[in-house]
């Protein structure tokens, strides 16, 4: 069967590998349908000085699949069913796992597509407990963006930042996969949404998703515009994932007692923090990574109800994956890039 392997930094190869053996106890064999690309794939592909990883490695951290075969002891899943796949291999035994908070697993073996083989392959065996069935009305693409894109954003906004209706939120990079999800989720609950984009052609697209104000960060200093829009008060919540380039401005954009929630650092992992601003303004800095199983189910319920939809930039096949990753690296995308396996 076909798989897409990273063999060295910036070198991907389509390879033939042996299909999985029949599913073991508590496992299912999945036929992968769609893989959604994320910045973690870009980090992995371009290589990172601070993380040595095993190669070759099958890429793909976020995907949907169809149940092909059910192993012994598995209940509630049947062949042909569409499921969304949790992105990390958690233990299932520790207290956080038993409570469905797998992103706090105490014995996690790694993230698929990064530490462990990922989902860019035709079939894979996985523990049934890491699969969330897609409700009617959600297709393979919707189920593919539930774990890392929508699940992460649900966890950031509702579990961590505890966003409330009527609040104002600044969403960085509204054209990114998680940015486009955050705009929709925040707007649908009745928040005022300010977002940033890197080019003027993305302004109308961001407004169409529900953004009330769109700032081109290459033309204006976003923190200045945010202060002006909020009459110098600042926003209740900043949705961060850019890191180094935006961190100081993000803190400056918050109102007293405001919350900054972050799940990434696409522009660099280190930055300085103005501690006086942190304590005097009583800011709350919240780190977020991955999601709870329930976040995936909630995201797909909202898709099924028509409240939110996955924003798809392009669908690609194995042959165009390099171009896709380069476009993501250059931030030349609006929404998600989907790799079709089926």
Residues making contact with Zn ion (CB under 5 A) = 90-91, 94, 97, 105
Give min distance, CB of 98 to Zn ion, in A: 8
Give min distance, CB of 126 to Zn ion, in A: 15
What is the C-alpha to C-alpha distance for residues 174 and 198, in angstroms, rounded to an integer?
9
In this complex, which beta carbon is closest to Zn ion, that of residue 38 or of residue 90?
A: 90
In this complex, which beta carbon is closest to Zn ion, that of residue 33 or of residue 101?
A: 101
In this complex, which beta carbon is closest to Zn ion, that of residue 94 or of residue 277?
A: 94
Give min distance, CB of 294 to Zn ion, in A: 16
Give min distance, CB of 110 to Zn ion, in A: 12
In this complex, which beta carbon is closest to Zn ion, that of residue 42 or of residue 94?
A: 94
Give min distance, CB of 108 to Zn ion, in A: 6
In this complex, which beta carbon is closest to Zn ion, that of residue 4 or of residue 111?
A: 111
CA distances from 283 to 68, 224, 252 (A): 49, 18, 10
Tokens matching residue 114: 């990064």
In this complex, which beta carbon is closest to Zn ion, that of residue 127 or of residue 142?
A: 127
In this complex, which beta carbon is closest to Zn ion, that of residue 48 or of residue 93?
A: 93
Give min distance, CB of 135 to Zn ion, in A: 26
Give min distance, CB of 107 to Zn ion, in A: 5
């Amino acid at each position: 069967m076909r798989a897409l392997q990273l063999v060295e930094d910036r070198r991907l190869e389509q390879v033939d590998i042996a299909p999985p053996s029949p599913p073991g106890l508590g496992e299912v064999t999945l036929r992968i349908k769609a893989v959604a690309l994320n910045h973690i794939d870009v980090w992995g592909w371009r290589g990172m000085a601070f993380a040595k990883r095993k190669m070759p490695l099958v890429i793909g951290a976020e995907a949907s699949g169809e149940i092909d075969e059910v192993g012994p002891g598995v209940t509630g899943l049947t062949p042909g069913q569409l499921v969304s796949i949790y992105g990390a291999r958690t233990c299932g035994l520790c207290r956080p796992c038993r409570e469905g908070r797998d992103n706090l697993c105490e014995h996690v073996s790694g993230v698929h597509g990064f530490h462990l083989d990922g989902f860019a392959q035709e079939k894979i065996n996985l523990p049934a407990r890491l699969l969330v069935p897609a409700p009617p009305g959600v297709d393979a693409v919707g189920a593919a963006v539930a774990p890392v894109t929508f699940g992460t954003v649900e966890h950031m906004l509702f579990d961590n930042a505890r966003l409330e209706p009527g609040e104002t939120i600044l969403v960085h990079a509204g054209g990114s996969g998680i940015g486009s999800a955050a705009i929709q989720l925040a707007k649908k609950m009745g928040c005022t949404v300010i977002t940033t984009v890197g080019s003027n052609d993305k302004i109308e697209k961001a407004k169409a998703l529900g953004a009330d104000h769109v700032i081109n960060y290459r033309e204006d200093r976003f923190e200045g515009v945010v202060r002006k829009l909020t009459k110098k008060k600042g926003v209740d919540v900043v949705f961060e994932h850019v890191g180094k380039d935006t961190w100081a401005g993000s803190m400056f954009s918050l109102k007293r007692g405001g919350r900054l929630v972050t799940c990434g650092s696409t522009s660099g992992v280190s930055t300085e923090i103005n501690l006086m601003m942190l304590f005097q303004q009583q800011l709350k800095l919240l780190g977020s990574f991955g999601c709870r199983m329930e976040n995936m189910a909630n995201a797909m319920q909202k898709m099924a109800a028509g409240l939110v939809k996955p924003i798809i930039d392009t669908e690609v096949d194995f042959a165009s994956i390099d171009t896709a990753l380069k476009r993501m690296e250059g931030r030349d995308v609006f929404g998600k890039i989907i790799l079709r396996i089926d």
